[in-house]
Amino acid sequence: MADMAFPTDADFEVFYERHWKYVYRLCFSYMKNPSDAEDCAEDAFVRALARDLPFEDEVHERKWLTVTAINICKDKLKSAAYKTTISMEEESVKEPAAEEPEDYSDVLEAVLALPEKYKDVVWLFYYDGYQTDEIASMLERPASTIRNQLRDARAILKKTLERSRGS
């Protein structure tokens, strides 16, 4: 039998506690609602639990969870079932939903509104602190592409923020 990533439930619990907030926040940045973000984050942890190979260290755990969570969110957003559910919910809403207080800054809102290819690299670079070479490895893109996407994203963000601030 191969080594398991989590020989005991306590090991998985420590892993879960160490990464839950990060994975949930990452999923929320894609899904934009708490229940879908929670579902996607839980799916990432289920996949981690089912892994056969042990993680090398905490950095490896976090990188693996990052890529896994991003892929789960993208897959869910692309799925026909998700799109159908969203459109049915929009049609069935008769009363406006209570507004949740938004604590996003205008910068974060602008980042979340970026096209996926830019949002991924901006999020990983600025919010998670990965270097461009690490992001390139995680997203399986050339490092030069990541640097170009960061440059393009900064230009888009600058224009967006200037417009929203009336500059």
Instruction: Please identify, among 57, 75, 97, the residue that sits at the C-terminal boundary of a domain.
Output: 97
Domain range holding 40?
A: 1-97
Stretch 103-110: mean pLDDT, rounded?
69
User: Domain tally for the chain?
Assistant: 2
Residues 120-163: tens digit of each pLDDT: 898 888 888 889 998 998 888 999 999 999 999 999 988 988 88
**The CATH number of the domain where 57 resides is what?**
1.10.1740.10
90 Cα distance to chain centroid: 24
Residue 20 has pLDDT above 50, yes or no: yes
DSSP assignment letter at 89 = H
Question: In the numeric block, which tokens belong to residue 56?
Answer: 């090398």
pLDDT band at 108 (very low <50, low <70, confident <90, very high): confident
pTM: 0.65
pLDDT band at 21 (very low <50, low <70, confident <90, very high): very high
